[in-house]
Amino acid sequence: MIPCIRHAALLCLLLLAALLVNAVRVQVVQAPALDGNPANRRPVMARYAEPRGDIVVDGRPVTGSVDTGEQLRHERTYTDGPLYAPVTGHSSQTYGTTLLEDAEDPVLSGTSPMLTAIPFWHDFSRTRPPGGHVVTTVREPLQRVAYEGLAGRRGAVAALEPSSGRILALVSSPSYDPAVLSGTGRPVAAAWARLNAARDQPMLNRALRQTYPPGSTFKIVTAAAAMDAGIVTDVDAPTGAPDPYLLPGTRTVLPNEAKGCGNASLAYAIRWSCNTVMAHLGVRVGSAGMLDAVSRFGFNDSSLRVPSPVARSNFDNGMSTDRLALSAIGQYDTRATPLQMAMVAAAVANGGEIAQPHLVERTTTADGDTVAQHVRRTYRQAMLPPTALRLQELMVDVVDGGSGSKAAIAGARVGGKTGTAQHGVGNTGTPYAWFIGWAQAEGTGRPAVAVAVVVEDASARREDISGGGSAAPIARSVMEEALREEERRGAARDGAGGLPGPYGRGGPFGPFGP
């Protein structure tokens, strides 16, 4: 009898060991493959089992979650979806995530190890903390003014605080409502197909992901290169540039829209946007010198993140001299994102230094405790400080007495540069209207905002399109609002001992500020 009991016990032990081995095989060895199996819906169900954290603008959430009661329980919602879509992107149960919803997904979904005090605790416990929140640098009044200024026309606006690199507004038009993509089923699939087929590409983030020929706004970069290289030492001295200017090695004559550009000074050329002078200076700087100069502004950088990825702004390497001349005035293959051109304006406004541009001020837990805080750092030293000071004067002259007069603001110091970029085969496409600039209130020590505006106005007559006419008024509205914001923040600091929102704590959204 005893041997039988022993044999039975041994068999039970062997069976138990086999069960344990099989459990280890399934739970440990095969776990990654099973988790990644498309037929396994548990990870997807777990992802949407809890509400997603929020993206916050000016202390208020512009996102939310609704309990649908379905298997994929919580669905993303958006407040003013088209207004903030270029910032938030979308979080779709069917089509994934984009922009901040993607770049900050670990925090928003609650999977970031930074959201728990004990590292890897949730990996062992198979639980996850509530989704954290992302506090942006965007200021609602500037975002709204920029959006309304474009009024549905194709184009984009990017506005920065030059001293810190905070992105104060990021608008792409036309836009779309990310909420139509949040769920699953036929309506979502139909919305996806409709948006992707739309001629105006509403899901394209023109501020970050679209590059344009910058036209005459690029002349600020060429002017900085010529001054830093010592080719121009006196901005009021004649440059020796002929008018007309024959592109080197060709029979092609480069025209001017402005009068009086023959042998004009750099100051005159910037004020009235002389193509011949700036092309001539670009050739004198040379290909290597121009490449070095543009890289200091951020051109040809594929690694820029804000934290959403930014398309690479281009300046060609190894060009012939005639193409270099065209590139120096923002034509040929020179292309830039609106954010890049806002960084050019910010470099001039900030004494030559470009602060790292960023959209996220800090991330927090669901309770509002700070998880990570942005630390200011330098992105590039674009030019020498004396060069920046002289360019400030030249850009102020453009607004006070040149082609950018529609950007002038009473009681403020405003610098700007207009641009009308030709494109298409034989330059037959409708030109893009550009304006870049910055504004500084009287009695303050530094500019409050740098802005870039591009308008693709296919409905306008070709002869009516110009940076001064189409883009400058939008830029002026954004800069005016930025100056008002700066005044309000100053009053809040003086009256309340500190400003809430991204710069402090308190307000109607708990720890996130107003």
User: Is residue 321 a part of any domain in this protein?
Assistant: yes
Q: Is 92 exposed, middle or buried (0-12, 13-18, 19+ CB in 10 A)?
A: buried
In a domain, 288, yes or no: yes
Residues 105, 237 within the same domain: no
Domain identity same for 188 and 312: no
Owning domain of residue 75: 49-136+176-197
> Could you tell me if 188 and 279 lie in one domain?
no
Regarding whether 252 and 183 lie in a shared domain, the answer is no
Beta bridge partners of 419: 434
Residue 147 lies in a domain: no
CATH number of residue 122's parent domain: 3.90.1310.10
Q: Is residue 509 part of a domain?
A: no
323 shares a domain with 225: yes
pLDDT band at 35, cuts 50/70/90?
Answer: low
State how far the Cα of 121 lies from the Cα of 72, in Å rounded to an integer. Answer: 25
| Residue 390 domain-assigned (yes or no) | yes
C-alpha distances out from residue 333 to 63, 316, 324, 423, Å = 39, 7, 10, 10
Banded model confidence at residue 373, pLDDT cuts 50, 70, 90: very high
CB 59 within 8 A of CB 513: yes
Query: Percent of the chain beyond pLDDT 70?
Result: 85
Q: Both 418 and 489 in a single domain?
A: yes
Phi, psi (rounded to 5 degrees) for 456: -100, 90
In the chain, the amino acid numbered 238 is P
pLDDT at 420: 87
pLDDT of residue 470: 84
Q: Are residues 319 and 423 in the same domain?
A: yes
Amino acid 351: pLDDT: 97
Band of pLDDT at residue 127, cut at 50, 70 and 90: low
Structure token pair of residue 428: 């037959």
DSSP secondary structure, 116-182, as one string: SSSTTHHHHHT--PPP-EEEE---HHHHHHHHHHHTT-EEEEEEE-TTT-BEEEEEEES---GGGGS
Looking at the 3D structure of the chain, how many domains does it have?
Answer: 2
Determine the pLDDT at residue 502.
37
371 or 17: which leads in pLDDT: 371
Look at residues 398, 309, 303 and name the one whose alpha carbon lies nearest to residue 348. Answer: 398
Asked whether residue 423 carries a pLDDT value surpassing 80, the answer given is no
pLDDT computed for residue 468 by the predictor: 56
Q: What is the pLDDT of residues 184-233, one digit of tens each?
A: 999 999 999 999 999 999 999 999 999 999 999 999 999 999 999 999 99
Q: What angle do CA 279, 285, 287 make, to 5 degrees?
A: 90
Round the average pLDDT of the chain to a whole number and report it. Answer: 88
Half-sphere exposure of 446 (CA within 13 A, CB side): 14
Residues 6+ apart with CB under 8 A from 400: 408
Q: How far apart are CA 218 and CA 223, in angstroms?
A: 9
The reply to whether 435 and 317 lie within a common domain is yes
Whether the per-residue pLDDT at 124 is higher than 50: the answer is: yes
Classify residue 238: in a domain, yes or no: yes
Whether residues 191 and 272 fall in one domain? no
The token pair that represents 51 in the structure block: 């509400």
**What CATH number is associated with residue 371?**
3.40.710.10
Kindly state whether residue 415 falls inside one of the protein's structural domains: yes
Q: Please report the DSSP string for 39-76 in residue order.
A: T--HHHHHHTSSPPP-EEETTEESEEEEE--SSS-EEE
Q: How far apart are CA 210 and CA 338, in angstroms?
A: 8
Both 425 and 276 in one domain: the answer is yes
Active site residues: 216
Q: What is the pLDDT of residue 428?
A: 46
Q: Say whether 274 sits in a helix, a strand or coil.
A: coil
Q: What is the pLDDT of residues 319-338, one digit of tens each?
A: 999 999 999 999 999 999 99
CB 213 within 8 A of CB 316: no
* 131-140 average pLDDT score: 97
Residue 168 lies in a domain: no
Of 215, 279, 222, 224, give the one whose Cα is nearest residue 419. 215
Could you tell me the pLDDT band of residue 429, with boundaries at 50, 70 and 90?
A: low
- Helix (H, G, I), strand (E, B), or coil: what is residue 249? coil
Long-range contacts of the stretch 234-239 (C-beta < 8 A, 24+): 234/265, 235/265, 235/266, 235/267, 235/390, 235/394, 236/265, 236/266, 236/267, 237/265, 238/263, 238/264, 238/265, 239/263, 239/264, 239/265, 239/266, 239/269, 239/277, 239/280, 239/281
Regarding whether 448 and 391 lie in a shared domain, the answer is yes
Average pLDDT over residues 3-12: 81
Please indicate, yes or no, whether residues 115 and 226 belong to a single structural domain of this protein. Answer: no
Please write the tens of the pLDDT for every residue from 55-88: 999 999 999 999 888 788 889 999 999 999 999 9
Q: 94 to each of 35, 111, 188, how far by Cα in Å? A: 18, 19, 8
Confidence band, pLDDT 50/70/90 cuts, at residue 15: confident
Instruction: Flag the least confident range among 41-45, 50-54, 421-425, 482-486.
Output: 421-425
pLDDT at 154 over 80: yes
β-strand partners of 433: 420, 455
Q: What is the mean pLDDT of residues 280-309?
A: 97
